[in-house]
Amino acid sequence: MTELFAERALLADGWARDVLITWDEGGHITGLRPGADPGRAPRAPGPILPGMTNLHGHAFQRAMAGRAETRGPSHAGEDSFWTWRETMYDLALALQPEDARIIARHLAIECLKRGYTALCEFHYLHHDTDGHAYADPAEMSLATVGGLRESGIAVTHLPVLYARGGFGEAPLGDRQRRFHTTPETILEIVRRTAARHGTDPLVRVGLAPHSLRAAPVEMIAEAVDGLDDIDDAAPIHIHVAEQEKEVADCLATHGARPVSWLLDRVAVDGRWCLVHATHLDGSETRALAARGAVAGLCPTTEANLGDGLFPLLPYREAGGAIGIGSDSHVSRDPARELALLEYGIRLTERRRNRATDMDTPSVGGTLWRAAAAGGAQAAGADAGAIALGRRADLIALDGAHPDITERDGDAILDGWIFAADETPVDSVWVAGRWVVGEGRHALEGEAATAYRRCLARLFAAA
């Protein structure tokens, strides 16, 4: 298939009717003809939208979704991100490369079926279970990327620099033994992963300093310099200011808040994605927006972990770019992320319809356009909009779905994001390749069976 006819399509310059979309063998859009005759082109089952990038995730954590929702006996009612992390370590210390591949494939299929067409994998599970490097130091990266790509999803792989157990010179704990890297070793993983997937146009490899508590700015600068020698446009992601404790520790160690400390010492620009950035003051909010970086927001995980709320409205007013991710994968649905992003503001301000602007008064329309564009930027991909030269990452909704039918324009997105309990996504194309049709993926049965068997092995003693 190299063409598609849609009665309604959200193009880069707005909604259009009777659109004939064509693309080349590389999956890039070569033609957009509103008001066209369909001819023999396949017809979309409903409205066509640009696919969404899931800009932040740790694929292996899909296996623990819903398994950290019981208060631990030693937590005395004080469960937090820091206690959740212990459950994550239990899983991280049990996984084998084949487990990582199976979990990643199943996750990617779930994401595709809900409208994600690309995924950024923030990957810090590097070594064997005893903490020693594999014969190929990129073993876990290659297993994870392989599983993701089996699904057909586009991948931006971000091997993680993880050198410290906290601010200052705190060493990694024993339960973090699979994570340890230096600038030199993480760049070797980047090189090996890029070399293995060098002929695949749907794999991009970047770098992710885990956080300021795990990677001092001097190490970050060294790693970024090395990355520039490999690919000076490669994406760079970092966790920052997710937790109040992180902010307090940074202030105690450096006398500055995390985002200020980072921006003052590192040349953060449009290549960067600052994930979470939950706890910003006003000056940090404006400074981050001015750098052109993307704020990577993961509302369902941030709610699940009790992180807090990102200052979306002042950040957007300052011109800041956003994208969304599923992080720990307690949800794999972009509509749910966007709804929660808006609902957090409504609950705080006790007002409605907040994440809009004068040009697009629809909340759903505003958020989908912003997150699709910001996600593509964070992935380092020529996607995020239906426009000439962009990758043909497309999703088609079911025009007969009860929350889509009898709606037009941005009201379609409002219906999906704020009303649909079941996804209305019918079909998905990644770089022009049809990977989901009638709500089904060709590998979903096989992948789900393998995933269930994987869970049985991992949690047999639980």
H or E segment and range at residue 454: helix 444-458
Q: What distance in Å separates the CA atoms of residue 142 and residue 160, rounded to the nearest whole number?
A: 14
Helix extents (H) in 197-235: 217-230
- Phi/psi of residue 231, nearest 5 degrees: -160, 105
Closest listed residue to residue 235, CA positions, set 192, 205, 264: 205
Which of 99, 249, 327, 403 does the annotation list as catalytic?
327
H or E segment and range at residue 428: strand 425-430
Which of 106, 276, 279, 329 does the annotation list as catalytic?
276
Please state, as a whole number, how many other Cβ atoms lie within 10 Å of the Cβ of residue 460. 7
Q: What distance in Å separates the CA atoms of residue 364 and residue 353, rounded to the nearest whole number?
A: 10
Closest listed residue to residue 64, CA positions, set 304, 323, 308, 278: 304
Q: Which residue has the tokens 């991992």?
A: 458
Q: What distance in Å separates the CA atoms of residue 177 and residue 131, rounded to the nearest whole number?
A: 5
Write the CB contacts of 333 (distance below 8 Å, at least 6 apart in sequence): 114, 115, 423
Q: What distance in Å separates the CA atoms of residue 308 and residue 22, rounded to the nearest whole number?
A: 43
Computed from CA positions of residues 329, 302, 251, 80, in that sequence, does the dihedral angle turn out positive or negative?
Answer: negative
Structure tokens at 117: 């067409």
Structure tokens at 163: 């050198």
Structure tokens at 125: 């599970």
CA contacts within 13 A on the Cβ side of 438: 1
Q: Catalytic residue at 276?
A: yes
DSSP 270-283: TTEEEEE--S--HH
DSSP 7-21: EEEEETTEEEEEEEE
170 DSSP assignment: P
- Catalytic residues, by residue number, are 276, 327
